[in-house]
Amino acid sequence: MEVIRHHVAGEATGSTERTGPVFDPATGEQRAEVTFASSAEVDAVIATAVEAQRAWAATGLVRRADVLFRMRQLLVERADELAAVITSEHGKVIADAKGEISRGIENVEFASGLVNLLKGEHATQVASGVDVHTLKQPVGVVGAITPFNFPVMVPLWMAASAIACGNAVILKPSEKDPSSAVFLARLWEEAGLPAGVLNVVHGDKEAVDAILDSPQVGAVSFVGSTPIARSIYERAAGNGKRVQALGGAKNHMIVMPDADLDGAADAAVSAAYGSAGERCMAISVLVAVGAETADALVAKVTERIGNLRIGPGTDPASEMGPLITREHREKVASYVTGAPAEGATVVVDGTVQEFDGDGYFIGVSLVDHVKPGMKVYSDEIFGPVLSVVRVDSYDEAVALVNANSFANGTAIFTRDGGTARRFELDIQVGMVGINVPLPVPIGAFSFGGWKQSLFGDSHIYGPESIHFYTRSKVVTTRWPLPSESQIDLGFPSNH
């Protein structure tokens, strides 16, 4: 059986004393084993990264940009091959895997402008003969701890900016689908990135803790569930590191009575069930304003659900693949089967849909008359379950969203420009869509939520990532003439 090893300084390394299984979610069969790093192994990799980072930080910006441009081209050329790797371990359909790669490429393109992004500021003659300028310098070695649901896009969210800024990266991907990270590491090196600047370490909590505790790691980026994000933030910040830890979500889509209900139903189905709901920007709550709106939406969504094609991600006819593990499938199903006891109505029960083989497939579910306090509403299900909450007014809808502890993304569907503009200002959520169900910012903007969806001050990728992966230094200079030298014990003044 294939053993997936760490990728360090261009080489496959790692002891096989501790390993974890890697499954094909479409068949339920184990396809490989992945090595789990000990804390000592992680420390050795970090030491390698420290040495590589020194030389990379001294590399000219144009040379760094050349590497990023070549990486972008390689991702385009190898997209089919990389998508197949994603699907084999995650299960998502090929089209979705290619979409993930495309969004990752956006971030490489943004980071390719590093010559402009890393420019400092300069002020001349702030006082007599005194100038001030700023420098942006790399943090050093940074940790990137990434989730299973986007095994290519999220590593590129982190690594592209970190590498552009002159850092070295320790990438710890999910142990559930680790091969994509190794594939990316090899592409980076083929693009000309020096060995050791990006290293892949596989593992469990022991490996993560070693990254969080190492004094040689200056910053940590994380994407995952809220409880883990909070834990990562507290431990890494307690060790004096910069941290951006993105957590969970419960994204609401408000539909006003004046909306195009067919368009809204299409958007809800796409945003709720795409990638089997395993994405932090999935719409999991449909907020219908008015009883007529709710009844019409439930009917239209139900009609569309019946036409969805669920099957292996490798089948071009499939629109949705399996969930990541058997255990996760059972957990998702429990929210649907438990909803009636809480007073909700299961309109479409995807848990009873039957599939051939032993894959981790589940049908899509639609649950109506959901209310706050129910588990199906409160928890991040991370599966193809769409809840419908009925409200009487715009104000009630906004209050519902703002009361939620998660604040990652939200959307409103309306034809009224005044309502849309008011929504932008009223809503307390980090990413907002107006007639856009998945408001994931393009690479030139930054991604991140509020409240329990983000721990730390910086959003990920885009302009905020340049700030996160660099330290600013302010330099004040004066070149006095010999005749101007004098002793002055007073506090420096700019007058």
Catalytic center residues: 280
- SS3 letters across the chain: CEEECEEECCEEECCCCCEEEEEECCCCEEEEEEECCCHHHHHHHHHHHHHHHHHHHCCCHHHHHHHHHHHHHHHHHCHHHHHHHHHHHHCCCHHHHHHHHHHHHHHHHHHCCHHHHCCCCEEEEEECCEEEEEEEEECCEEEEECCCCCCCHHHHHHHHHHHHCCCEEEEECCCCCCHHHHHHHHHHHHCCCCCCCEEECCCCHHHHHHHHHCCCEEEEEEECCHHHHHHHHHHHHHCCCEEEEECCCCEEEEECCCCCHHHHHHHHHHHHHHHHHCCCCCEEEEEEECHHHHHHHHHHHHHHHCCCCECCCCCCCCCECCCCCHHHHHHHHHHHHHCHHHCCEEEECHHHCCCCCCCCCCCCEEEECCCCCCHHHHCCCCCCEEEEEEECCHHHHHHHHHHCCEECEEEEECCCHHHHHHHHHHCCCCEEEECCCCCCCCCCCCECCEECCEECCCCECHHHHHHHCEEEEEEEEECCCHHHCCCCCCCCCCC
Which tokens sit at 250? 């419960």
- Contact predicate 54/225, CB 8 Å: no
Report the alpha-carbon distance of residue 205 to residue 115 in Å, rounded: 37
- What is the residue type of 59? T
What's the CA dihedral at 201, 183, 57, 45 to 10 degrees? 20
Residue 58: CB partners within 8 Å, gap ≥ 6?
A: none
Closest CA relative to residue 478, chosen from 123, 135, 134, 125: 125
Residue with tokens 């588990």: 375
